[in-house]
Chains A and B, each alone.
Chain A
Amino acid sequence: MAGADPAEAVLEVRGVCTRFGNARVHDGVSLEVRRGEVFALAGASGCGKSTLLREIILLHRPDAGSIRLLGQEVVGLREEEALALRRRCGVMFERGALFGALTVAENVGVPLREQTRLSGPLVEQIGALKIALAGLPPGAASLYPSELSGGMRKRAALARAIALDPEVLFLDEPTAGLDPLSASGFDDLIRHLKALLGPTIVIVTHDLDLLWRVADRVAFMADGRIVGVGTMQELSRTEHPVLRQYFVGPRGRGAREQSWKRG
């Protein structure tokens, strides 16, 4: 948006604690996402990244702490206020979460029909535009989710997430389960959309290639805390043992060399 302060925090997480029974998932997580950046939340599987995402997008309530999204406290928000906030966010779930009874075009049309008062034909046209922006061929619009390949399903989910031109776009594991070629295609797509539409993007991922190629800043999660925040260059130089393991492992080195070659 014109005139917005680039350093303004779109998302502030302060001291979030989460417990499932006796298992402590988050033990005082704090982080800050600035307007217009591509922020990635990284960490090993099961370290609580996705749970934190669910807390930010109002699907799960943390046991303690505060989360401010677009200037509004999320924890304990009433449902009517939450709706206004949800309208400004787009979410792409890990497995797409496309509605199985609807075609791709109808899936993308759902937020438009629910949240705006636009006419049917305009909804269809805007939906078709978003499907094309997500890099799907025109023929995919009339298919059902069960007829799509994994990569196409992710793109359809992304098209639905950007249906309302959200200010903040949350992507949960956008490249998980994709072959390397599709995954790198998805990296490019995210960068492309970022350049075109300019949303703040929050990515939850453990894909090192995605981290190197797309993320402006990365927060690394381990043991229920953030153990490092910064650019990938900065993080790869830190001495934290968990981060060393992550970056010095064979795949970590490979991803880094790849990202250099691509320049």
Chain B
Amino acid sequence: MAAGASPGAGPSGAGADVEVLGGEVRCSGTWTVDRIDRVEGRFPDLARRAGNEIVVDGSAVTAMDTAGIWLLHATALALERQGRSVELRLRPEHQALLELIRSPALALAEPAAGRGGLLPRVGRWALGALDQALAMVSFVGESAIAGTRSLARPSRIRWRSVLQNIQTAGFEALPIVGLLAYLLGLVIAYQGAGPLGRYGANVFVADLVGLAMLRELAPLLTAIVVAGRSGSAWAAQIGTMKVTEEIDALRTVGIAPLELLVLPKVLALSVALPLLTVFADALGVAGGMTMSRSELGVSFQDFLDRFSQAVSPADFLVGVGKAPVFAAVIALVGCHQGFQASGDAESVGRRTTVSVVQSIFAIIVVDALFSVAFSRLGI
């Protein structure tokens, strides 16, 4: 038996211990996975001190598990590789364990190699990004084909699903979009109030709020909110269906997943997003009016008079006209990321995040392209 319990030893007895006596390495105590940390560092050094012909005496070890025997075995192997001879003397029951881990049938994995240097990693990343881009292009193409096929036979469009998506992505987003647009209108008018007031150009706050909201901010804000609210939800929904093989099940019962899951969403959002944008326009201007009256003393009547001169219908249409494009971007990116999920639940989470990041990125890029195009066209 091992000597009296050493401090720190738990209920199942003394920790592992090792000492050198002459040419012999004596092991004692409990050589189990939660105990051998005490000897892991010392054991090889001590054993080396015992000379070139080492005898490891394990007969005083009271309990041994696979981790303990592995430490003995691995150390002995390492010493033998240095040209020393090692003899392990073990109790018969522990000898059986040793035979087990020495058995040639037990093929051990080599420790995993690193993922390479910077260059391979950059290369892998670039190839991955290229794959993603190509997959997105092909997804847009497939959706377009499925879309034209459906438009040729409108009876095949899933109108129920379209209406349901208008409800969840459009109608249910009204409060949050309205609130944010109103606050944004307030903030713009407030920021403009200082400089405009200094020049006595109070009433021009209507130009500022009207043009900024209608042309740029309301469409962008609405699209970003919807991308976060609905694009992510769709990526998660389709991703989960992909992981649980529901998408494959749909195919086997003769339903094209694109027709059931993607087209209704694109259609619904193409209707809902322009309407939401109009709503955001109205509330944003209302926010601007509220702030103008309290900060600049511009009455609602004066504000609206100036507004109708400053803002042309073209400005309104420029803003609302961008919305269907944003809608297609949000729906296609969200659905595409959903279809890219594979394997496990974690990939669904990752794809959902990517869908939001990519759609917001794409929305802003598209918006910039629109700005360039409109300025060339002089709108």
Contacts and interface: CB of A to CB of B under 8 A. Distances in A.
Contacts of B97: 196
A125 B112 contact: no
Interface string B9-47: 010100000000000000000001110110011000000
B63 A2 contact: yes
A126 B31 CA distance: 14
B70 A125 contact: yes
A196 to B, nearest CB: 5
A146 B343 contact: yes
A234 interface: no
Contacts of B96: 196
Interface string A139-156: 111101111000000000
Given A122-B71, A126-B67, A133 B106 contact: yes
Interface in B42-82: 62-63, 65-67, 70-71, 74
Nearest to A1: B63
A146 B107 CA distance: 23
Given A118-B33, A164-B33, A165-B66, A128 B108 contact: yes
Nearest to B38: A117
B321 to A, nearest CB: 43
B246 interface: no
Contact of B112 (A2, A105, A130): A105
A165 B32 contact: yes
Nearest to A70: B11
Contacts of A87: 34
B245 to A, nearest CB: 13
A137 B111 contact: no
B113 to A, nearest CB: 9
A105 B100 contact: no
Contacts of B93: 2
Contacts, number: 95
A138 B105 CA distance: 11
A66 interface: no
Contacts of A196: 96-97, 100
A132 B63 contact: no
A132 B343 contact: no
B346 to A, nearest CB: 4
Contact of A117 (B37, B71, B107): B37
A93 to B, nearest CB: 15
A238 to B, nearest CB: 38
A144 B107 CA distance: 19
B358 interface: no
B257 to A, nearest CB: 21
B343 A105 contact: no
A263 interface: no
A139 B37 CA distance: 28
Nearest to A138: B109
Interface of B: 10, 12, 32-34, 36-37, 40-41, 62-63, 65-67, 70-71, 74, 93, 96-97, 100-101, 106-112, 342-347
Given A103-B112, A140-B109, 7 more contacts: A125-B70, A128-B111, A130-B66, A132-B107, A141-B109, A163-B33, A165-B32
